[in-house]
């Protein structure tokens, strides 16, 4: 089981398959992200990141750079 301190949870506006593909490259290529997923069926389009090293502000900047909104839950 993952250490809960390493799971970062965000509200986003990543809603469609095209949106997911747009952020996938940045998230999958990031060496400090172990795993990630987006629940696009949730009203908040929840993004979960597993990373023992990254801070929420770094993820928010990354997602914003891809053109999407992101805020920590």
∠55-17-68 over CA atoms, to 5°? 40
What confidence category does residue 3 fall into, taking pLDDT thresholds of 50, 70 and 90? low
Task: Tell me if residue 28 falls in helix, strand or coil.
Answer: helix
Q: Where are the domains of the chain?
A: 4-72
Q: The domain 4-72 is classified under which CATH number: 3.40.50.10210, 3.40.50.970, 3.30.70.100, 3.10.450.50?
A: 3.30.70.100
* pLDDT tens-place string over residues 34-66: 999 999 999 999 999 999 999 999 999 999 999
Residue 2 has pLDDT above 60, yes or no: no
């Amino acid at each position: 089981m993952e250490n809960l301190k390493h799971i970062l949870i965000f509200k986003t506006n990543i809603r469609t398959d095209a949106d997911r593909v747009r952020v996938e490259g940045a998230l999958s290529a990031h060496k400090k992200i172990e795993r990630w997923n987006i629940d696009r069926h949730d009203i908040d389009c929840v993004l979960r990141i597993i990373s023992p090293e990254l801070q929420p502000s770094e993820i928010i900047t990354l997602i914003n750079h891809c053109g999407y909104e992101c805020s920590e839950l």
